[in-house]
């Protein structure tokens, strides 16, 4: 792979297969997925429940490893890395946003957002980190809630905390697994708009999974998945 290709494609999946063993039964979750995602893309992975969206995102997010196939992130093969190296990759280059927010309940907004940076072997000085965290929180509309714990926030506010936590490490990729599934339609619109704005302003690559057709209208690219296979790539859907 040339330097030009490497810089253009942040993610390259080749013939990714993922099988789960349920007792003696083998359940195929992904059946030979090939996918490239370029830097700065705002991609939506669409498909019905059980189609393999979450499995695909888990593999892209290095939370799970494929049964076979290769996965290159930023030009580097990552599917055979050990736990700590993958943890390092997730910490520095990948931000993940979950459907159910997944905040740490004993930490307040600021502490939740700064948490990934503090878990590094070489954490940045707390003073400058705090400054960045506060600025980012204000940027995503959490200014008045900095000292609130997750159980004192609404669903939309919690998802904003999750977005800020995903972005604080200056990741190259942000994955969002059905980020609006637990939100009302108005809040969903706001969250999608926020992510779109951050994608445009910061140039961060976003990959969503959703089965909500309303989200599609914001995507620059839509990947349809069904039965563990990519059935349609549409890079031309206008935002």
- Which residue ranges make up the site for another protein (CB under 8 A)? 58, 61, 63-64, 83-84, 87-92, 96, 98, 102-107, 111, 115-116, 118-120, 126, 165, 169
Nearer to another protein, 66 or 156 (CB): 66
Residue 90's alpha-carbon distances to 72, 85, 191, 210, 236, in angstroms, are 14, 9, 22, 22, 29
- Of 62 and 222, CB closest to another protein: 62
Least Å distance, CB 63 to another protein, is 4
Least separation in angstroms between CB 214 and another protein: 26
Cβ 4 to another protein, closest distance in Å? 29
Q: Are 174 and 97 in contact (CB under 8 A)?
A: yes
Cβ closest to another protein, residue 64 vs residue 139: 64
* Residue 10 or 162 with smaller CB distance to another protein: 162
Q: What is the dihedral of CA 134, 135, 140, 143, to 10 degrees?
A: 50
* d(C-alpha 179, C-alpha 138), whole Å: 20
Q: How far is the CB of 175 from another protein (least distance, A)?
A: 9
In angstroms, rounded to a whole number, what is the distance separating the alpha carbons of residues 175 and 44? 10
């Amino acid at each position: 792979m040339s330097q030009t290709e490497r810089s253009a494609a942040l993610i390259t999946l080749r013939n990714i297969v993922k099988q789960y063993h349920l007792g003696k039964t083998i359940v195929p979750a992904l059946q030979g997925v090939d996918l490239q995602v370029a830097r700065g893309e705002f991609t939506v992975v669409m498909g019905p429940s059980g189609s393999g969206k979450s499995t695909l995102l888990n593999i892209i997010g290095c939370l799970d490893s494929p049964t076979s196939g290769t996965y290159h992130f930023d030009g580097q093969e990552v599917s055979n890395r050990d736990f700590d190296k993958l943890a390092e990759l997730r910490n520095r280059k990948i931000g993940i946003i979950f459907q159910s927010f997944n905040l740490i309940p004993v930490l307040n907004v600021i502490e939740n957002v700064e948490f990934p940076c503090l878990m590094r072997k070489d954490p940045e000085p707390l003073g400058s980190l705090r400054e960045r965290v506060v600025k980012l929180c204000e940027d995503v509309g959490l200014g008045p809630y900095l000292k609130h714990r997750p159980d004192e926030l609404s669903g939309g506010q919690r998802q904003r905390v999750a977005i800020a936590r995903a972005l604080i490490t200056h990741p190259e990729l942000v994955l969002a697994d059905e980020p609006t599934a637990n939100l009302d339609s108005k809040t969903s619109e706001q969250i999608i708009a926020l992510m779109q704005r951050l994608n445009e302003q910061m140039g961060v690559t976003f990959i969503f999974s959703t089965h909500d057709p309303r989200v599609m209208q914001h995507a620059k690219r839509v990947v349809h998945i069904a039965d563990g296979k990519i059935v349609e790539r549409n890079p031309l859907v206008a935002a």
